[in-house]
């Protein structure tokens, strides 16, 4: 696995830490379930045992993934340049073509993967907005073609 740093917002780091704690608690129960299923098992016919082992293995993989993410985390507490879009910012843009205002929260791909609301700083829109400032018009290639956003606010 790569040792590349993962940028997380403080809220994202806390949410992933809480998820890890919940999964570790759940894992203790899964281990007991496997042990009970093992005691009652006729190995050739007991689907309960095999299901319990599968669930335990899946849970262990999720825990290891979260530990890996948190170990590589670089937590954003302060915006290094509040005048430019960076991970952790909420960015309001005006879609020139659709004539509507849209707000994005730019977060890491790991945060998006774990259910935190926002767009990844690695996505076409997220990566294109990074480094720009209020008033910039950004042309972004998306699957449906090109979009043109004027940055109105960075928070």
Q: Which pLDDT tens digit goes with each residue over 107-128?
A: 988 898 888 899 999 999 999 9
* Residues of the domain holding 106: 79-154
- What pLDDT band is residue 47 in, cutting at 50, 70 and 90? low
Residue 49, pLDDT score: 66
We report the CATH number of the domain holding residue 138 as 3.10.50.30
- Report the alpha-carbon distance of residue 31 to residue 28 in Å, rounded: 5
Helix H or strand E encompassing 140: strand 137-142
We report the CATH number of the domain holding residue 18 as 1.10.287.180
Report whether pLDDT(31) > 60.
yes
Residue pair 56/27 in contact by the 8 Å Cβ criterion: yes
Residue 39, pLDDT score: 61
Report the chain's terminal Cα–Cα distance, integer Å. Answer: 34
Residue 7, pLDDT score: 85
Do 140 and 123 belong together in one domain? Answer: yes
Report whether pLDDT(41) > 70.
no
- Report the alpha-carbon distance of residue 58 to residue 50 in Å, rounded: 12
Q: What percent of the chain clears pLDDT 90, i.e. is strictly above it?
A: 52
Residue pair 132/83 in contact by the 8 Å Cβ criterion: no
| pLDDT: which is higher, 55 or 96 | 96
**Residue 20, in any domain of the structure:** yes
Do 138 and 87 belong together in one domain? Answer: yes
Domain boundary among 49, 75, 101: 75
Domain boundary among 75, 101, 121: 75
* 55 alpha-carbon distance from chain centroid: 23
Over residues 55-75, the mean pLDDT reads 89
**Residue 1, in any domain of the structure:** no
Report whether pLDDT(147) > 90.
yes
Domain boundary among 44, 75, 106: 75
Residue 36, pLDDT score: 64
Do 67 and 86 belong together in one domain? Answer: no
Residue 37, pLDDT score: 59
Report whether pLDDT(144) > 70.
yes
- pTM for the model stands at 0.70
Do 28 and 44 belong together in one domain? Answer: yes
- Report the alpha-carbon distance of residue 43 to residue 26 in Å, rounded: 25
Among all chains, which residue has been given the structure tokens 């985390």?
A: 73
**Residue 102, in any domain of the structure:** yes
């Amino acid at each position: 696995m790569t040792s590349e740093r993962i940028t997380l917002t403080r809220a994202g780091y806390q949410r992933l830490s809480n998820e890890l704690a919940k999964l570790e608690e759940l894992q203790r129960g899964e281990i007991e379930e496997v042990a009970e299923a093992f005691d009652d098992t006729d190995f050739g016919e007991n689907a309960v045992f095999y299901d319990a082992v599968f669930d335990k293995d899946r849970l262990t993989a999720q825990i290891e993934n979260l530990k890996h993410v948190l170990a590589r985390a670089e937590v954003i507490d302060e915006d290094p340049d509040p005048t430019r879009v960076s991970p952790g910012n909420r960015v309001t843009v005006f879609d020139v073509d659709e004539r509507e205002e849209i707000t994005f929260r730019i977060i890491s791909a790991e945060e998006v993967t774990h259910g935190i609301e926002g767009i990844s700083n690695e996505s076409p829109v997220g990566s294109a907005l990074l480094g720009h400032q209020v008033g910039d018009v950004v042309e972004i290639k998306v699957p449906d073609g090109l979009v043109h956003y004027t940055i109105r606010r960075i928070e």
